[in-house]
Chain A
Amino acid sequence: MAGPSSHTEIAAELATRPGHASLGSALVRWMMITVSLVFLGALLAAPLFAVFATALEKGWAAYFQSFADPDTQAAIRLTLITAAVVVPLNTVFGITAAWCIAKFEFRGKSFLITLIDLPLAVSPIVSGLIYVLLFGLNGWFGAWLQENDITIVYALPGIILATMFVTFPYVARELIPLMQQLGNDEEEAAITLGAGGWFTFFRVTLPKIRWGLVYGIILCNARAMGEFGAVSVVSGNIRGMTTTMPLHIEVLYNEYNFVGAFAVASLLSMLAVVTLIIKTLVERSGYRRR
């Protein structure tokens, strides 16, 4: 198996790392790489390619035609609206929570951090269920809401609330450890020299945390646009009205409109790829996740 060239390679390796190299370790190395690549290929790469292959199986014309469907356009619009409301709100929350947790000492701090992370542990279905139980027709506020003509469940507000719940911790959990590590010295210096609180935040803190913030926001956005389970429970799945893009995929898929379903899926896949690219660029700029 091992030709003369690989013999010399092994000999060279033996010389540099005594006791470590042998034919066996080359074999282990080759096996580990193969196993990893086959596993990831079957589980990650194949499905990703399948999305685009199925979306394009009837040609580019059919692919673009599927976006002419008004219900598909409505779904895209609804997803964009939801993300446009949820991401800024959760960003403001994340910054506020990180400021209070990283800059001050108080009792119950670690408990507060645990509570902020809580939505990550909850099943998406339960995340939607809780809002139906609160605002649904038989829910705690159901009767009152109906009297006052307010609809939350099976409408936009419910979708926004459920999405806020599932993306709640994303920005905060990125910023809290980052700001804790950066410390308070520069902020204290700025304040002591007479700078105001807002000025200090925008000129001193924000530039330091910007990469962590970008990181948190893009992950929050990806989840907000892609959430399925929680939104599915509160949306009522009214075609063209309360279906976000992931829900619209399900509608089209169940109608055996595979080109349409995978065309919408291809948009969300591209979003995921862009998210990963930005994430990699942020990491390359020196930001290290904690």
Chain B
Amino acid sequence: MALEVLLVEDSKTQAQQIKETLESVGLRVRIAYDGPDGLRDAISNPPALIVLDVKLPSMDGFQVCRRLKRNPATQDIPVVMLTEKAGPKATMSGLRSGADDYIPKDIFASEHLIDTLHELGILED
């Protein structure tokens, strides 16, 4: 059965684009549109991977990631941050919150995301 990814992304347009990218490589995708919903979803039904936006309503992606990594039910799930915040400070905040990768949303984002899924063992080489 295909592995399931939890995508936490508040923009419906971007969520659909990322979902299509992930589905194109055979993954199943469910979406949460804010941080608290993403946390609840991850804890109640742990996915194989979490793709997490940074700018989210209620709770930002850094906070969500820190909580995921503190919770024994979710701490081992790989987290990839996919975000418009591309600077050095944001990159280090994302990685220090426990993310396995931090990918800016630019024209190469889909390629980088899929490369990382191979690297993390979510996709087979």
A and B: interacting chains: no
